[in-house]
């Protein structure tokens, strides 16, 4: 059993609060990603779980055991860092075997554990090489292999792919997802890259200024963001946010007037009053060519299957739309785009979402 439960975790450096009351319940064999901007506290939280930082207050329970006061070596965790931290003078075999040597395990057991890890990570043919003879992705796999041989209850990853180029990061995302399936292990992964979070996680923890903004599956966060922050952080390109004024609310939903003109009735529930200011969120991929918002196309990115279109509304508000790759549009021309009301999001003045009445079906 390798559940991980965090209760009221706080962390302060003097008078500066870094984490404020983190409560999380991570299930056995789950792959959970901590994501958020630089300085949000995600790496600090991971280091507290690992025992490399002391929490100011709170409890950490791994597999039903309170490990809050235990040193890292007794917590049943293994951590993979951003830097590979390999010994350059040792072979791949000896780098992977290093923690087993420290534990003074018999040579036959060391060989069996290293062989199993190397097989999982496709490093069997590289065991006699030195780290300097490996690619960046292979070095990262060696670092992961050193964690696997310890047979931890929980794997912790601190931005392990950030030193790799874009193509290799894509390959390693696939490898890490496959590794999780092969090991059936509980994994907690920290990244600032929301693409990594969306493609790898069972559930995502979105952190902002030391607090959990939302904890849910990738599709829950995408379709049902709880706050303006989550809506703009999850999804690529970023969600458009258009200022609007509430005209009224009835059985059909909330009617708003967008700045610059144009009204929409949106199927959401809330406590908005006439005259309240809100923001209407529109994901670029939900916009389509049709009568609605008129934008002047400023930059057009042709990606083959899609044309990412950046433009400006008459109010000066920027707008992005993801349109078909063969869409007949050109930079400098005016383009009209629209969105189905059910696809729009509405955020009140505090940044909280107004819940939609009809939502797309979710996938885990």
Q: Per residue in 26-73, pLDDT tens?
A: 999 999 999 999 999 999 999 999 999 999 999 999 999 999 999 998
What residues contact residue 103 under an 8 Å CB cut-off, 6+ apart?
Answer: none
Residues 223 and 75 in one domain: yes
Alpha carbons 346 and 339: distance in angstroms, whole number: 13
Q: Which of 81-85, 117-121, 222-226, 268-272 has the highest mean pLDDT?
A: 222-226
Phi/psi of residue 91, each to 5°?
Answer: -70, 170
What's the average model confidence in pLDDT over 80-99? 90
Residues 197 and 314 in one domain: no
Residue 360 lies in a domain: no
292-312 in b/e burial notation, b at 16+ Cβ within 10 A?
bbbbebeebeeeeebbbbbbe
What's the average model confidence in pLDDT over 295-307? 94
Determine the pLDDT at residue 364: 47
Question: The CATH number of the domain where 74 resides is what?
Answer: 3.40.50.300
Residues 275 and 223 in one domain: no
Residues 200 and 346 in one domain: no
Residues 191 and 272 in one domain: no
Of 95, 142, 91, the closest CA to residue 121 belongs to: 142
Residues 217 and 308 in one domain: no
Whole-number mean pLDDT of the chain? 91
Residues 251 and 203 in one domain: no
| Structural domain range at position 350 | 237-354
Q: What is the pLDDT of residues 251-293, one digit of tens each?
A: 889 999 999 888 999 999 878 889 999 999 999 999 999 999 9
Q: What is the pLDDT of residues 121-169, one digit of tens each?
A: 889 999 999 999 998 888 988 999 998 898 899 999 998 888 778 777 8
Residues 186 and 137 in one domain: yes
Question: The CATH number of the domain where 288 resides is what?
Answer: 2.40.50.140
What percent of the chain clears pLDDT 70, i.e. is strictly above it? Answer: 98
What's the average model confidence in pLDDT over 220-235? 95
Q: Domain boundary residue among 232, 254, 283? A: 232
For residue 358, pLDDT over 80 is answered with no
Q: Domain boundary residue among 191, 209, 232? A: 232
Of 273, 282, 284, the closest CA to residue 348 belongs to: 273
Residues 183 and 322 in one domain: no
Place of tokens 């929301």: 194
Residues 144 and 166 in one domain: yes
Determine the pLDDT at residue 1: 57
Residues 241 and 203 in one domain: no
Residues 280 and 338 in one domain: yes
Tell me the three-class secondary structure of 335-353, residue by residue: EEEECCHHHCEEECCCCEE
For residue 219, pLDDT over 80 is answered with yes
Q: How many structural domains are present in the chain?
A: 2
* CA dihedral over 192, 51, 85, 138, signed as positive or negative: negative
């Amino acid at each position: 059993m390798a559940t991980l439960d965090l209760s009221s975790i706080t962390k302060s450096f003097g008078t500066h609060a870094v984490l404020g009351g983190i409560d999380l319940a991570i299930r056995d064999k789950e792959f959970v990603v901590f994501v958020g901007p630089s300085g949000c506290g995600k790496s600090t939280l991971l280091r507290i779980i690992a025992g490399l930082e002391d929490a100011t207050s709170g409890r950490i329970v791994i597999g039903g055991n309170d490990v809050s006061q235990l040193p890292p070596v007794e917590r049943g965790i293994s951590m993979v860092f951003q830097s590979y931290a390999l010994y350059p003078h040792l072979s791949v075999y000896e780098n992977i075997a290093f923690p087993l040597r420290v534990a003074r395990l018999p040579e036959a057991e060391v060989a069996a554990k290293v062989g199993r890890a190397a097989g999982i990570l496709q490093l069997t043919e590289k065991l006699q090489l030195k780290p300097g003879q490996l690619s960046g992705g292979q070095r990262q796999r060696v670092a992961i292999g050193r964690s696997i041989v310890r047979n931890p209850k929980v794997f912790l990853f601190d931005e392990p792919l950030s030193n790799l180029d874009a193509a290799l990061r894509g390959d390693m995302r696939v490898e890490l997802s496959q590794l999780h399936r092969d090991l059936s292990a509980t994994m907690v992964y920290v990244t600032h890259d929301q693409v990594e979070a969306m493609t790898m996680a069972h559930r995502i923890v979105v952190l902002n200024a030391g607090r959990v903004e939302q904890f849910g599956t990738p599709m829950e966060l995408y379709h049902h963001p709880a706050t303006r922050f989550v809506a703009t952080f999850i999804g690529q390109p970023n969600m458009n946010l258009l200022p609007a004024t509430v005209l009224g609310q009835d059985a059909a939903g909330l009617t708003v007037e967008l700045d610059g003109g144009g009204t929409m009735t949106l199927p959401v529930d809330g406590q908005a009053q006439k005259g309240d200011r809100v923001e209407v969120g529109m994901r670029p991929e939900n916009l389509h060519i049709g009568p609605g918002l008129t934008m002047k196309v400023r930059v057009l990115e042709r990606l083959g299957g899609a044309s990412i279109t950046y433009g400006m509304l008459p109010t000066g508000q920027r707008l992005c739309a993801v349109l078909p790759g063969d869409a007949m549009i050109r930079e400098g021309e005016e383009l009209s785009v629209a969105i189905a009301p059910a696809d729009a999001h509405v955020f009140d003045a505090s940044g909280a979402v107004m819940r939609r009445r009809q939502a797309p079906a979710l996938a885990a």
